[in-house]
Chain A
Amino acid sequence: MEAHSATASAPRAGLRLPGVGAGLGRGTVVLYLSLIVLLPLAALTSQSFEEGFSTFWTQVTSPQAVRSLELTVMCSLIVVAINAVFGTIIAWLLVRDEFPGKSVVNAVIDLPFALPTIVASLTLLALYGNDSPVGIDISSTRIAVVVALLFVTLPFVVRAVQPLLIEMDREMEEAAASLGAGGFTVFRRIIFPNLLPGLAAGVALAFARALGEFGSVLLFAGGLPQTMVSSVFIRQQIESGNDIGAAAVSVVLLVAALLMLAVITWVQRWGSRHERSSGGGLTVMPMSGENFTKVEDDDEGH
């Protein structure tokens, strides 16, 4: 039998909660998820429809709401596209290159995760604000929104692509080269398709984070009408007592995030279609007796 077919039948022997325990375990999970995630989401959605669909629609289609949603989604898409490219390049350098200070760079990648977002916006303001030491003042512009989002979403793609690059079989690339493929073809036909699932996951997380980013954008890009992202708009609505408006826009962001997750899941499935065992449910190979045992015994000096 094959090594991979072990993964085809999901629950295998191992530690399992027996009998009553299993029911208790599932109950706990459902309860926990309900309290933390599902019920709040339901409450939010019901609040947004409290005064009927027409009120919801009016709130969502108000010029300011539309403007903030457009800005948020547009900026998030741009940011995700840029970080998909640069995140992959950074991951590539971290995995395939040797340079002085590599471990420092590797650690710095996570900084936007660790940093409170308000601190992030302060650091950006220090360099690109109106007292900019380098003479670049982009604060309170839409560019500032993009830069702030670039900053906070940087780690996602890097950290999603990095493990795939580390695990990638370098011999695949060598095999392609021996068959005549040049560097670019090897990347396009061999490396990229194998990075795609990780890239998709990184993009999904980065997009979700960008949609909801509040702290770093608020200070750096300000709450001006032309730089008001949805999260800032939502807070403004709450402050002015328009709870339904706040909830309505929140629901739209929620739907956008869900849509993105759906697309990404599809891309991931498609990108890793080769890892699913055959569609017909037939995994037993005709040539029986051929056992697949991986033997790592080649430690030649390469």
Chain B
Amino acid sequence: MGITVEGATKSFGDFQALNDVSIDVPNGSLTALLGPSGSGKSTLLRAIAGLETLDGGRVLIDDEDVSKKPTQKREVGFVFQHYAAFKHMTVFENVAFGLKIRKWDKDKISGRVHELLGLVQLEGLADRYPSQLSGGQRQRMALARALAVEPQVLLLDEPFGALDAKVRKDLRTWLRRLHDEMHVTTIFVTHDQEEAMDVAGQLVVMNEGRVEQSGSADELYEQPATEFVMSFVGEVNRLGEQYVRPHDMTVALDRDDGAEEAMVQRIVALGFEIRVEFVLGDGTEVWAQLTRAELQKLELREGQIVYLRPGEIKSFNGDVPSSDGHGASTPHSPPDDDDAEVSAAV
């Protein structure tokens, strides 16, 4: 069931949460709404579910205008950041809730609930209360509860936001697999760009109540339409009006035309990745992402003067973004001292 939102607007008092937002989510896709907090992504999701009434615009599910339909009739499964577990009910009762509302008979409910508990790997915990579960288990229970009623669409609002990093990663993988099996149209909200790229096939980047850009993870990363997308999706250095990814910074030890003098401020080893922070002559702080091998080859140390050459540069001065990697990038002069120069763009 595809979801379409047309010209959605919504304000809370003076705060404009949604400002003429239109999105199109194809049937069976897994789409992420990505943006910082206050960008309107949660409001948009809640509007699709009918938990928020739009001031203007329409929501269509499977080409049917559901704008006037109450939540109860929209057949959406909704998963909340803080689980919204019915804490006075057991895990079984939680998952069975929607089915009881639909007046299924007892045996059928029992069968369906156990099937779902199997799916979310909570067999054996059916008689527990939510307070006896861990965060990750609670969220899986909430997912089973939402899926029990076979919703047309599944909406997840920062579903892993309250979990710690490791559980988050596990659940992320697990959600992607679940989606591959179920093919239910899914939208999930996150402020974590890595999470969005990991899980979703399609991303919609939102900022200040508007859609900045939508597309695949590659499209957003390679061809960001706006400054905001460039800096929100992936890491970025800003040099005046120009932007460059940290892995597109080339570090050379010898003076070089077109390279800028910089001082190494700090070297941070993050496992395989090494983060080297520099300060330029004009005080601008930038950083480069190097591999361990590259760092060893350069033998950088803090306080050292080096020469930085940004690789692929993008600028957003109202012109067509030069994202082809040639136009705006500094000409690559033939290196005269090969072993002292390593390009981080591998």
Q: Which residues of A contact B (CB under 8 A)?
A: 2, 4, 169, 171-172, 174-182, 185, 189-190, 193-194, 271, 273-275, 277-278, 283, 285-287, 289-295, 297-302
Min CB distance B159 to A, Å, is 11
Report chain A residues within 8 Å CB of B84.
169, 171-172, 174-175
Residues of A close to B149: CB separation below 8 A = 179-180
- Whether B102 is near chain A, meaning CB under 8 Å from some CB there, is yes
Is B40's CB under 8 angstroms from A274's CB? no
Among B37, B76, B134, B163, point to the contact of A298 (Cβ < 8 A).
B37
> In B46-60, which residues have CB < 8 Å from any A CB?
46, 49-52
Q: Name A180's closest neighbour in chain B (CB-CB).
A: B101
Chain B: minimal CB distance from A6 (Å): 12
Whole-angstrom distance from the CB of A167 to the nearest CB of chain B?
11
Contact of B77 among A178, A275, A294 (CB under 8 A): A178
Task: Report B132-186 residues with CB < 8 Å from chain A CB.
Answer: 132-137, 142, 145-146, 149, 158, 161-164, 166-167
Tell which of B97, B130, B134 has the most Cβ of chain A within 10 Å: B134
Q: Which residue of A lies closest to B73 (CB)?
A: A180
Interface residues in B34-73 (C-beta closer than 8 Å to A) = 37-43, 46, 49-52, 70-73
Shortest Cβ distance from B163 into chain A, in angstroms?
Answer: 8
Interface centre among B52, B162, B166 (most CB of A within 10 A): B162
Measured in the bound complex, the distance between the Cα atoms of B98 and A294 in whole Å is: 26
B191 contacts which chain A residues (CB < 8 A)? 297
Determine whether B255 belongs to the interface, using a CB cutoff of 8 Å to chain A.
no
Q: Which 3 A-B pairs have the closest CB atoms?
A: A179-B98, A171-B84, A274-B129
Interface flag for B78 (CB, 8 Å): yes
Min CB gap A214→B, angstroms: 39
Which B residues have a C-beta under 8 Å from some C-beta of A?
12, 15, 17, 37-43, 46, 49-52, 70-74, 76-78, 80-82, 84-90, 97-98, 101-102, 124, 128-137, 142, 145-146, 149, 158, 161-164, 166-167, 191
Contact B97 A302 (CB under 8 A): no
Residues of A with C-beta under 8 A to B74:
178
Nearest-neighbour CB distance to chain A for B124, whole angstroms, equals 8
Closest-CB distance, B102 to chain A (whole angstroms)? 6
Q: Write the nearest CB–CB distance from A194 to chain B, whole angstroms.
A: 6
Given A278-B128, A295-B162, A302-B42, does the pair A178, B51 have CB atoms closer than 8 Å?
yes
* B88, closest chain A residue (CB): A193
Contacts of B88 in A (CB 8 A): 193-194, 271, 274
Task: Please state if B133 and A285 are interface contacts (CB–CB under 8 Å).
Answer: yes
Residue in contact with B72 in the complex, picked from A182, A277, A278, A299, CB distance below 8 Å: A182
Q: A175 to B138, alpha carbons, bound, how many Å? A: 14
Residues of A within 8 A of B52 (CB): 302
- B12, B80, B97, B101: which contacts A301 (Cβ < 8 A)? B12
In the complex with contacts A181-B72, A274-B89, A278-B128, A176-B97 CB distance below 8 A? yes
A302 touching B43 in the complex, CB below 8 Å, given contacts A176-B97, A297-B37? yes
Given A176-B86, A298-B37; A292-B135 close (CB under 8 Å): yes
Closest to A288 in B: B134
Contact B80 A171 (CB under 8 A): yes
> What's the minimum C-beta distance from B95 to chain A, rounded to whole angstroms?
10
Choice from B46, B129, B135, B146 contacting A293 with Cβ under 8 Å: B135
Q: Given A175-B86, A193-B88 in contact, is the A2-B134 Cβ separation under 8 Å?
A: yes
User: Which residues of A have CB within 8 Å of B163?
Assistant: 290-293
- Given A174-B51, A286-B124, 8 other A-B residues pairs in contact with their CB atoms under 8 A: A4-B132, A176-B97, A180-B101, A181-B101, A278-B132, A287-B136, A295-B162, A298-B158
Residues of A within 8 A of B77 (CB): 178
**B78, A301: Cβ atoms under 8 Å?**
no
Partner of B71, one of A4, A174, A273: A174
Residues of B near A298 (CB, < 8 A) are 37, 42, 81, 158, 161
A274 to B128, CA, bound (A): 8
| Distance of A89 Cα from B1 Cα, bound (Å) | 41
* Contact (Cβ within 8 A) B71 A299: no
Given A190-B86, A278-B128, residue A300 in contact with residue B41 (CB < 8 A)? yes
- Establish whether residues A290 and B135, one from each chain, have CB atoms under 8 Å apart when the complex forms: yes
Chain B, residue nearest A293 (CB): B164
Q: What's the Cα separation between A285 and B76 when bound, in Å?
A: 31
Q: Give bound CA distance, A180 to B99, whole Å.
A: 9
C-alpha spacing A275/B46, complex, angstroms: 30
| CA distance in complex: A178, B154 (Å) | 11
Cβ contacts under 8 Å, B133 to chain A: 285
21 A–B contacts, CB within 8 A, in A order: A172-B86, A174-B84, A179-B149, A180-B73, A180-B98, A274-B87, A274-B129, A274-B130, A275-B129, A278-B128, A285-B133, A290-B137, A290-B163, A292-B134, A292-B163, A293-B162, A297-B37, A298-B42, A299-B38, A300-B39, A302-B12
User: What is the bound-complex CA distance between A171 and B43, given in angstroms?
Assistant: 14
Q: How far is the CA of A4 from the CA of B137 in the complex (A)?
A: 14
Contact indicator B131/A285 (Cβ below 8 Å): no
- Alpha-carbon distance A189/B77, docked complex (angstroms): 19
Chain B residues, Cβ within 8 Å of A171: 80, 82, 84
A2 closest partner in B (C-beta): B134
User: Would you call A175 and B80 a contact (CB within 8 A)?
Assistant: yes
User: Which residue from B12, B71, B134 sits with its C-beta under 8 Å from A177?
Assistant: B71
Q: Nearest residue in A to B157 (C-beta to C-beta)? A: A298
Q: A287-B137, A298-B37, A302-B46 are in contact. Are A275 and B78 (CB under 8 A)?
A: no
Judging by beta carbons under 8 Å apart, are A290 and B161 in contact?
Answer: no
B15 engages A301 (CB within 8 Å): yes
Which of B12, B82, B132 meets A283, CB within 8 Å? B132
How many angstroms from the CA of A297 to the CA of B146 in the assembled complex? 23
Cα(A273)–Cα(B135), bound, Å:
20
